[in-house]
Amino acid sequence: MTSLSEALVPARPQAASAQPRAIAYWLYGVALLVFVMVVVGGITRLTESGLSITEWNVVTGTLPPLSDAAWATEFAKYQQIPEYKEVNLGITLAEFKTIYFWEYIHRLLGRVIGLAFAVPLAWFALRRSIPSGYGLRLVALLALGGLQGTIGWWMVTSGLSERTDVSHFRLAVHLLTALFIMAGLIWTARDLQAFARDPQSRPARLTSLSITVIVILFVQLLFGAWVAGMNAGYAANTWPRMNGAFVPVDIDWSQGAIYTFTHDPFLLHFIHRWWAFVAAAALIVLARAVRRHDRTISVAINATLGVQILLGIATVLTGVNLHLAVLHQAVGALLVASVAGGAHRLGQYQITTQPAPKLAGAQ
Distance of CA 263 to the CA centre of its chain: 22
Closest CA to 229 of 57, 362, 48, 105: 48
pLDDT band, residue 250 (cuts 50/70/90): confident
Are 312 and 276 in contact, with CB atoms under 8 Å apart?
A: yes
pLDDT band, residue 30 (cuts 50/70/90): very high
Mean pLDDT of 64-71: 95
The amino acid at residue 202 is: R
What is the per-residue pLDDT for 69?
A: 96
pLDDT in tens, 211-245: 999 999 999 999 999 999 999 999 999 999 998 89
The amino acid at residue 309 is: I
d(CA 44, CA 322): 11
pLDDT surpasses 80 at 8: no
pLDDT surpasses 70 at 351: no
What is the per-residue pLDDT for 363?
A: 34
Closest CA to 207 of 355, 350, 352: 350
DSSP per position, 280-319: HHHHHHHHHHHHTT-HHHHHHHHHHHHHHHHHHHHHHHTT
How many Cβ atoms are within 10 Å of 36's Cβ, its own excluded? 15
Q: Quick check: helix, strand or coil at residue 79?
A: coil
Q: Which residues contact 84 (CB under 8 A, 6 or more apart)?
A: 78, 91
Mean pLDDT of 115-140: 95
What is the per-residue pLDDT for 59?
A: 86
pLDDT band, residue 145 (cuts 50/70/90): very high
Which uninterrupted H or E stretch holds 59?
none
With vertex at residue 133, the alpha carbon angle to CA 129 and CA 136, rounded to the nearest 5 degrees, is 90
| First-to-last C-alpha distance (Å) of the chain | 42
How many residues appear in the chain? 363
pLDDT surpasses 80 at 16: no
pLDDT surpasses 80 at 78: yes
pLDDT surpasses 70 at 2: no
pLDDT surpasses 50 at 151: yes
pLDDT band, residue 3 (cuts 50/70/90): low
What is the per-residue pLDDT for 60?
A: 84
Are 28 and 186 in contact, with CB atoms under 8 Å apart?
A: yes
Q: Quick check: helix, strand or coil at residue 242?
A: strand
How many Cβ atoms are within 10 Å of 150's Cβ, its own excluded? 10
Q: Which of 1-5, 9-13, 203-207 has the highest mean pLDDT?
A: 203-207
Higher pLDDT, 15 or 173: 173
pLDDT in tens, 193-205: 999 999 888 999 9
pLDDT surpasses 70 at 311: yes
pLDDT surpasses 70 at 10: no
With vertex at residue 84, the alpha carbon angle to CA 46 and CA 223, rounded to the nearest 5 degrees, is 35
pLDDT surpasses 90 at 291: yes
d(CA 198, CA 103): 44
Q: Where are the alpha helices (DSSP H) in the chain?
A: 4-8, 20-46, 68-78, 82-86, 93-126, 135-157, 168-197, 208-229, 257-263, 265-291, 295-317, 322-353
Whole-number percent of the chain with pLDDT over 70: 92
Q: Quick check: helix, strand or coil at residue 245?
A: strand
DSSP 98: H
Peptide bond into 240 cis (omega under 30): yes
What is the per-residue pLDDT for 13?
A: 43
What is the per-residue pLDDT for 354?
A: 60
What is the per-residue pLDDT for 352?
A: 61
pLDDT surpasses 70 at 4: no
What is the per-residue pLDDT for 15?
A: 46
d(CA 285, CA 66): 53
What is the per-residue pLDDT for 360?
A: 42
